[in-house]
Amino acid sequence: MPNMGIETKPLDFSKAYTTLTLFHSGPVVGCNEAVQGRFYGARFDLDWDLSPLFPYINAIMPDAQLYETPVYVKFLLDRHLCAFHPQNGAFSPVSDLAAAMAFLDRLIAFLEDVYYRRAEINPNYRKFKPTSALDIFQLLPRTNCRACGHATCLAFAAAVSRQRSSPAECPHLGRPVEEKALFPVFDAQGRLIRTIALEIDSTALRERINQKEIQIQTLQSRLESMEQGQARHTRDVNRTLPDPLTRREIQVLQLVAGGLTNKEISSRLHISEHTVKSHVIHIFNKIGVNDRTQASVWAASQGLL
């Protein structure tokens, strides 16, 4: 049996499975509508222990769920629900054996890609342990404020229960009584054999995060204030002109004052050189200058730079 914990030689994934069989299956939400009305699943045995790949699949597939007892992983691939135990797998829906064979080739290619990209993937050992949505709902403010991005607190609770959202998305949720970090323990072959949970004190980290958030909010407020002040100043300058400068003309004027050529301005603003030239002519006429140097001096004197 090939050792997936320590790579000794390339594995032949074309021989990764045996005994493909079909079984009757029901509809799978979010899966392939092409087979609606004819529901089959397919199961097959594997020639080696696939469980070392489970954390990598869990890391890269957004809908993956990794279970501890029994050990298995399930995920959606090309709108097919796939599930793997260490030495067997299954997927659905398919319409017939030919469709199952075709998708199995795709599935094996996916596993092969994950296997040879392990060094590029940060494995996710987090186990799927759903908490009742109603229990989570008890922790929420029940105001349906939508700050979490969901229409209702109950919808958010359901998403957290399925691990499709994080409790941190609710700004009104209280701090946890305790927090733990989960560390993996491997055997000599690189297989996960257990996890160890250690309590952590994140108080200092939370305080630093809060301080950074306050600093960010302060900077955002200052930037907004500066932008509002600049907008007011621009309006005041425009009131002195018979024909006010447009927002785009002010942008072009600032770039002209910065020493950019028409070609460079064209690239910066994603407009044609002809359009830039037209803007420059309009600017000269509106502020009463004859060249780029005079335009730059005028812009500086008016505080537009």
- Reported as a single tens digit per residue, the pLDDT across 145-178 is 888 888 998 888 888 877 778 788 888 877 776 6
Q: Which residue, among 242, 304, 254, has the nearest Cα to 279 in the 3D structure?
A: 254
Distances (CA, A) of 227 to 223, 231, 242, 247: 6, 6, 24, 13
Q: Which of 12-21, 29-38, 146-155 has the lowest mean pLDDT?
A: 29-38
Lowest mean pLDDT across 10-19, 181-190, 202-211, 238-247: 10-19
Give the model's pLDDT for residue 49: 87
**What pLDDT is recorded for position 195?**
73
Do the beta carbons of residue 25 and residue 39 sit within 8 Å?
yes
Closest by CA to 125, choosing from 51, 66, 189, 60, is: 66
Do 170 and 156 touch, CB atoms closer than 8 A? yes
Highest-pLDDT range among 66-70, 188-192, 225-229, 247-251: 247-251
pLDDT at 249 over 50: yes
Asked whether residue 107 carries a pLDDT value surpassing 80, the answer given is yes
β partners of residue 88: 45, 85
Element of type H or E holding 161: helix 153-161
Instruction: For Cα atoms 83, 85, 88, give the angle at the middle one, nearest 5 degrees.
Output: 90
pLDDT of 32 higher than 80? no
Strands 179-186 and 88-94: unpaired
For residue 173, what are its two tokens? Answer: 């949720």
Tokens standing for 226? 């500066």
133-200 and 233-301: same fold? Answer: no
Name the token pair of 171: 């700004």
Of 169, 168, 172, nearest to 205 (Cα)? 168
Q: Please give the pLDDT value at position 234.
A: 86
Give the model's pLDDT for residue 231.
84
In this predicted structure, the answer to whether residue 1 has a pLDDT above a threshold of 50 is: no
In this prediction, residue 265 carries a pLDDT of 94
Nearest C-alpha neighbor of 42 from the set 114, 105, 110, 113: 105
For residue 162, the model assigns a pLDDT of 74
Average pLDDT over the chain, rounded to an integer:
83
pLDDT at 15: 65
The ranges assigned to domains in the chain are 13-120, 133-200, 233-301
**Whose CA is closest to 124, among 213, 61, 198, 212?**
61
**Which pLDDT belongs to residue 35?**
44
In tens, the pLDDT along 70-79 reads 899 999 999 8
Most confident segment among 112-121, 128-137, 217-226? 112-121
- Torsional sign, CA 92, 81, 67, 157: negative
Specify the pLDDT at position 47: 82
Q: Structure tokens of 126?
A: 């987090």
List the beta bridge partners of residue 82: 75, 91
Q: What is the 3-state secondary structure (H, E, C) of 129-160?
A: CCCCHHHHHCCCCCCCCCCCCCCCHHHHHHHH
Query: What pLDDT sits at residue 177?
Result: 61
Euclidean distance between CA atoms 7 and 49, whole angstroms: 13
**What is the rounded (10 degree) CA torsion for 253, 255, 260, 263?**
-80
Spatial separation of the C-alpha atoms in residues 172 and 149, rounded to whole Å:
13
Q: What stretch of H or E contains 235?
A: helix 203-239
Burial letters 21-31, b for 16+ CB under 10 A, else e: ebeebeebeeb
- What's the pLDDT tens digit per position in 78-105? 989 999 999 999 999 998 999 999 999 9
133-200 folds as 3-methyladenine DNA Glycosylase II; Chain A, domain 3 (1.10.15)
pLDDT at 8 over 50: no
User: 88-123 burial by CB neighbour count: b if 16+ within 10 A, else e?
Assistant: bbbbbbbbeeebbeebbeebbebbbebbeeeeeeeb
72-86, 185-199, 251-265, 284-298: least confidently modelled range: 185-199
Q: pLDDT category, 286, cuts 50, 70, 90? A: very high
* Stretch 33-41: mean pLDDT: 62
CATH class of 233-301: mainly alpha
